[in-house]
Amino acid sequence: MSYALLAEADSFRSEAYDPILIAGTVPPALTFLATACVLVVAVVLRSDAIYRLGMAVHAACCTVWAVGFLLAIFQGKASGPTGPIGWALIAFHGYLWSAAPARLEGPGEKP
Please tell me the distance from the alpha carbon of residue 93 to that of residue 81, in angstroms, as a whole number.
18
pLDDT of residue 74: 86
Convert the pLDDT of each residue in 33-75 to its tens digit.
888 999 899 888 888 888 889 999 889 888 888 888 888 888 8
Q: Answer yes or no: is pLDDT of 88 > 90.
A: yes
What is the value of pTM for the model shown?
A: 0.73
Q: What is the DSSP letter of 11?
A: G
Nearest one of 55, 63, 61 to 85, comparing CA atoms? 63
